[in-house]
Structure 1
Amino acid sequence: MVRVWLHTFFLISLLLVSQLARADVSEVTATVDRNPVTANQSFVLTVTVDGDVGNDSFSPSKLLKDFVVGRTSVSRQTSMINGRLSKQTRFTTVLIPQAAGEYKIPEITIGGVSSQPITIEVLEAGSSQEKEQETAFLEAQVDSEQVYLQQPITYVARLFLAADLNKGNLVPPEAENADVQQIGRDEESTQMVNGRRYKVYQRVYQITPSKSGPLSITGARFDGEVFTQGQRSIFSSFSNTQPVSTIAETIDVNVKPVPANWQGHWLPSELVSISQSVSPEQETYTVGEPLTISYMLTAIGVKPEQLPEIKPEFPDTVRVYPDGDETDQFTRNGVVISQKTISFAIVPNQPGPLSIPALEVPWFNTKTGLAASAETDDLKFSVAMAEGMQAIPEGNQPSGAAAPQKQSAEEKPVEPAKPSVVLVWWQQSWFVALLGLIILASLATNLFLLVRRQSLSEGAEETSKTPHQLNKDKLWREFQQACSKNDTHAAQTALLEWANRYFNRTFNSLTELSQYLSIQSSCAALQKSLYQPGSSSWREGKKLYKDVKSSLERLSDTTEDNVLPELYGRK
């Protein structure tokens, strides 16, 4: 029982001692890690309290008038010497002066106890004493202090650290009415400064002004921690790292407006170029066969959204289907390069020479301060009609005018008088000869159609070419299913393969087949869906099927009993 009371008394005593130690502050000390300091470079203010106090006991907000106040960290240490329990609280704050002069850190009061004030001497940035004592400092530079509106400014920030980095953050520069964007990756190196070795971290930003006039760029800022030189004791709870902050100098830039005489899209750059390519590359193209023309616009030092639209001019003898566009941005040797690529599917619809005019893109040369333009060459092609593209073959040309003459010449020795009379009669009655030629042409045409019908009817069981047996043809069924599903590629492939076998000739394109079957409207809708990505989905499979069916009925001269199978069934 006595032991229990003793144990309880000991615990209560420790608790009372702890509360007294927490509530009793015997001394408050304020120190800085160096004095004098330089403008835009940080120094560390350490406030040490002999006692255990709360984290909110010290507020550095009263120092905001003269300094940029960084983060504040709190650490504690407890020790017992000769049976006496003592506690200590340490506040560490990073301060950055922004102008040279003499400043005063006032007394700091915690728990009714105050520290002594400290007078701080701040030197001009760039003074000879600066880099000899700085653990960290930032340098910044721009590629030009006078630019045009929307002309990008390259801002390079270089962080120098003389101690090993524990953690840190580099805050980008700030500027009103401007877009700030990091470009490329950070670079690391080492450099000797006044006999002291520094590790250098470099980061590049692109600043694009959106308003003309003076532009003030607030310097980039670094906040972090570095390891201290001494080793931390295993009995100490204080950290062996030191907070570090630094700010680069402010840079002023003059932004000039767009020249008053400028017209069109404003594109300021050091270099702009445009190129073009044709696929497939060949000297002669065929009516109805598509080719692709691509344009690539490249500009240095601009963002992709600053690139203008590419609008080439095409003649009326071609159908044009935009084939999509894409933009890209990358960095090469610290320089930002933007690209825009756009392609067009071109389908010639007339034979003969085809000319695509040159494309011109105006831009402003920021190096020379003069207007410039990027141009392509004009393109010239030859377009030929596909072999056998004419649907109706030419009839035999008459040559019978000489026949009567030849006949009369042969008959002249037998009956001298009659040939002369017949010859005169033929010359005066030319319309009779013309009538005979028409009759001959009609007979030839009928003979051609008769031979064609016989050839189409032969081998019907093997090729399934007659209209009422088309549903037995595998290619026709594939075309039927593709139209039923509105499948553009499958419909095109099956239709061409079926037509080549059915008509026993070669159709090189849908355009050629559409002219033969007189279904230009349906095939044009299918081609538009094939060559124009992003267009509305093809929903005219039923119409295409019916048009092919009707055309085939006309060519085959079928009766009502020889009707093609319905695609979607009777309604």
Structure 2
Amino acid sequence: MVRSIKQLTGFILLSVSTLFGTLCATPAYAQVTTIEASVDKNPVIVDESFVLTVTFNDDVDSSAFQPQQLLSDFIVGRTSVSRQTSIVNGDLSKLTRFTTVLIARQQGDYTIPAIMMDGAQSQPITVEVLPAGSDTSSRSDKIAFIESTLDSQSVFLQQPFTYIVRLYLAADLNKGNLMPPKMEHADIRQIGSDEESTKMLNGRRYKVYQRTYQITPNKSGEFDIEGARFDGEVYAEGQRSIFSSFSNTQPVSTIGKTVSVQVKPVPANWQGHWLPSELVTISQSLTPEKSSIDVGEPITLSYQLTAVGVKPEQLPAIQPQFPDSVRVYPDNEKTDQFVRNGVTIAQKTMSYAVVPNEPGSLQLPALEIPWFNTKRGQRDITRTDAVNLTVNGVVNELNDTDSQAEPEPKTETPAKDDQAGSAQNQKDTLTESAGQRVISVLAALLGISLLGNLAWFWRRKKRQPTEVPNRRSAEKPLTDNQQWRNFQKACADNHARKADEFLRKWAQQRFNKRLVALGDLARWVAQGNSVDENLQQQLNTLQQSLFSATKPKWTDGKTLYQSLRKALDKQPKPRRNDLPSLY
């Protein structure tokens, strides 16, 4: 008995070893004599997937069957390859099976051609494709299908609309990929996260995967939206192997229906920034919250613009009009996007540091943002209230005397004069009478010298009557040049406040208008051309160092000067020398 068990065990081990070696062995040559092709359903419905199975009676390479080259009348989905080896009564047999998912987009009769290899070939298959409204479309043998819905089929240009995809699967998902819909001249992006649920249809339980897309058309007209498409693998009904690599799976593909959408153009009478939305609001806040401030005291005015169903890049710029009695520094701009209850919301926040220069009543005017109400189909305006403040103190102006001249280098002359004065005082203390005699003699000599000099100058003036007026005219300074030199020195010293003051005075004299917001200088210098981004950034850095909440130390004086000088060099050369040479 024991010997019989040992013999049986040895036979089983030998058989398993032989089978395993056979499975792992790679044949040097595949001799195919039979090829079979079949479909899992016929007829089929438009946009409904069906499975084509092609079986070779030998172990063939995975590239032996190329469905994309043979089946041009169908959408070709995922193709999987499986191999089987068996030994029956000592005879070894091998099979290679290709499984491909196909989708027909148009009704009619289509032929799957014969598959050929090594002289063997399959029989061609005629597939009948029925329209989507056929009775068989309600049958319960569907493994996967897609439903899609639009929240609106008529929108305005750049008005986003929602496209919802629901994928129904009647089998457990192994792996897969859900591809987004396609539409010409439109931006398509997923919003939110996927949702999962279950649903009973025609007596069969389906697992439903829902995904939401936002589509923003960039061109008016009528467009088709090609439905979302799913390619994947599901576990087939029946037993599964305990080894995951041998799980019994089958490929599956499905595609959503094509739908049309009408994109209407911007109304002909529309003016300003185009912002189509269901709801747009704007709010403002003042920090610190008080009605009375002092001259030179900065306050922060913040705006928050919110729009429903749009992208952040569609929001207009927030540019309130400030009076000339204040200086304005854009402090911070931030955009954001989030989803609430399946609706996208875009938001932009903009802050300004406002510094009053004059006492009295100050009114920061209301801000208005026009937008197009897509629900009512008309123009709307969202606005803020005006801000009224009382400014205390005196006028805050620059000292023109200080701004017109640079500090002169120190010399030793005052010290010498003090020493001379001290020596003279010592002499006076020694003897009063001697001092008086010396003074009298010096006064007499000075008078004689003065008379001689006057006579010499009078004779020289008669010879060259026009020389002095010309010299005086040449020595007359140019105010804008001097302001530029002062700005240059402030940049070299990294003195943020002086650089701001002298730059404003120079800009006002050069462009003959008041510079309220420092960032406007980049647009003035551009003169209708593209704004220098580097100059704009340096101006913003200077503003932040003066009035932002953190007030970082300003160390980019040289960079700001060079950026401005470079931008000015791009302008047409003026008739006179407006700027001095570089240091």
Same fold (TM > 0.5):
yes
With over 3 angstroms needed to count, the CA separation of the structure-2 counterparts of 1:81 and 1:232, relative to structure 1, is farther
Tell whether the 8 Å contact from 2:496 to 2:554 is kept in structure 1 after alignment.
Answer: no
Tell whether the 8 Å contact from 1:181 to 1:206 is kept in structure 2 after alignment.
Answer: yes
In the other structure, the counterpart of 1:381 is 389
Tell whether the 8 Å contact from 1:77 to 1:236 is kept in structure 2 after alignment.
Answer: no
**1:271 and 2:279 correspond:** yes
Distance 1:155 1:128 in 2: 27
Following superposition, the deviation at residue 121 of structure 1 comes to 2.4
With over 3 angstroms needed to count, the CA separation of the structure-2 counterparts of 1:276 and 1:126, relative to structure 1, is farther
User: 1:225 aligns to what SS in structure 2?
Assistant: strand
User: 1:23 aligns to what SS in structure 2?
Assistant: coil
In the other structure, the counterpart of 1:531 is 547
In the other structure, the counterpart of 1:543 is none
Tell whether the 8 Å contact from 1:21 to 1:87 is kept in structure 2 after alignment.
Answer: no
Tell whether the 8 Å contact from 1:76 to 1:238 is kept in structure 2 after alignment.
Answer: no
Return the index of the structure with the highest Cα Rg: 1
Tell whether the 8 Å contact from 1:42 to 1:97 is kept in structure 2 after alignment.
Answer: yes
**1:170 and 2:178 correspond:** yes
With over 3 angstroms needed to count, the CA separation of the structure-2 counterparts of 1:237 and 1:86, relative to structure 1, is farther
Distance 1:223 1:538 in 2: 56
TM-superposition CA deviations, 1:285-310 (whole Å, max 9, x none): 11111110001111111111111111
Following superposition, the deviation at residue 318 of structure 1 comes to 1.1
Distance 1:223 1:167 in 2: 9
**1:81-480 alignment to 2 at 5 Å?**
81-131=88-138, 132-232=140-240, 239-385=247-393
Following superposition, the deviation at residue 354 of structure 1 comes to 0.8
With over 3 angstroms needed to count, the CA separation of the structure-2 counterparts of 1:143 and 1:529, relative to structure 1, is same
In the other structure, the counterpart of 1:446 is none
With over 3 angstroms needed to count, the CA separation of the structure-2 counterparts of 1:130 and 1:343, relative to structure 1, is same
User: 1:297 aligns to what SS in structure 2?
Assistant: strand
In the other structure, the counterpart of 1:58 is 65
Tell whether the 8 Å contact from 1:529 to 1:537 is kept in structure 2 after alignment.
Answer: no
TM-superposition CA deviations, 1:293-344 (whole Å, max 9, x none): 0011111111111111111011111111110201101111111100111000
In the other structure, the counterpart of 1:71 is 78
Identical residues among aligned pairs (%): 61
Tell whether the 8 Å contact from 1:488 to 1:538 is kept in structure 2 after alignment.
Answer: no
Distance 1:534 1:209 in 2: 43
Give TM-score, length-normalised by structure 2: 0.64
In the other structure, the counterpart of 1:395 is none
With over 3 angstroms needed to count, the CA separation of the structure-2 counterparts of 1:20 and 1:306, relative to structure 1, is closer
Following superposition, the deviation at residue 192 of structure 1 comes to 1.3
User: 1:133 aligns to what SS in structure 2?
Assistant: coil
Give TM-score, length-normalised by structure 1: 0.65
Tell whether the 8 Å contact from 1:529 to 1:538 is kept in structure 2 after alignment.
Answer: no
Q: More deviation in 348-357 or 531-540?
A: 531-540
Following superposition, the deviation at residue 385 of structure 1 comes to 2.1
Distance 1:235 1:358 in 2: 71
**1:24 and 2:31 correspond:** yes
Unaligned runs of 5+ in 1: 1-10, 390-482, 490-524, 541-571
User: 2:146 aligns to what SS in structure 1?
Assistant: strand
Distance 2:544 2:55 in 1: 80
Tell whether the 8 Å contact from 1:70 to 1:94 is kept in structure 2 after alignment.
Answer: yes
Q: More deviation in 74-83 or 318-327?
A: 74-83
TM-superposition CA deviations, 1:199-254 (whole Å, max 9, x none): 11111111111111111111000001110111146799865011110000011111
In the other structure, the counterpart of 1:566 is none
User: 2:63 aligns to what SS in structure 1?
Assistant: helix
Count of residues paired in the alignment? 401
Following superposition, the deviation at residue 127 of structure 1 comes to 3.9
In the other structure, the counterpart of 2:482 is none
Unaligned runs of 5+ in 2: 1-17, 398-490, 498-540, 559-583
User: 1:314 aligns to what SS in structure 2?
Assistant: coil
With over 3 angstroms needed to count, the CA separation of the structure-2 counterparts of 1:262 and 1:527, relative to structure 1, is closer
Following superposition, the deviation at residue 126 of structure 1 comes to 4.8
Distance 1:118 1:526 in 2: 76
TM-superposition CA deviations, 1:493-513 (whole Å, max 9, x none): xxxxxxxxxxxxxxxxxxxxx
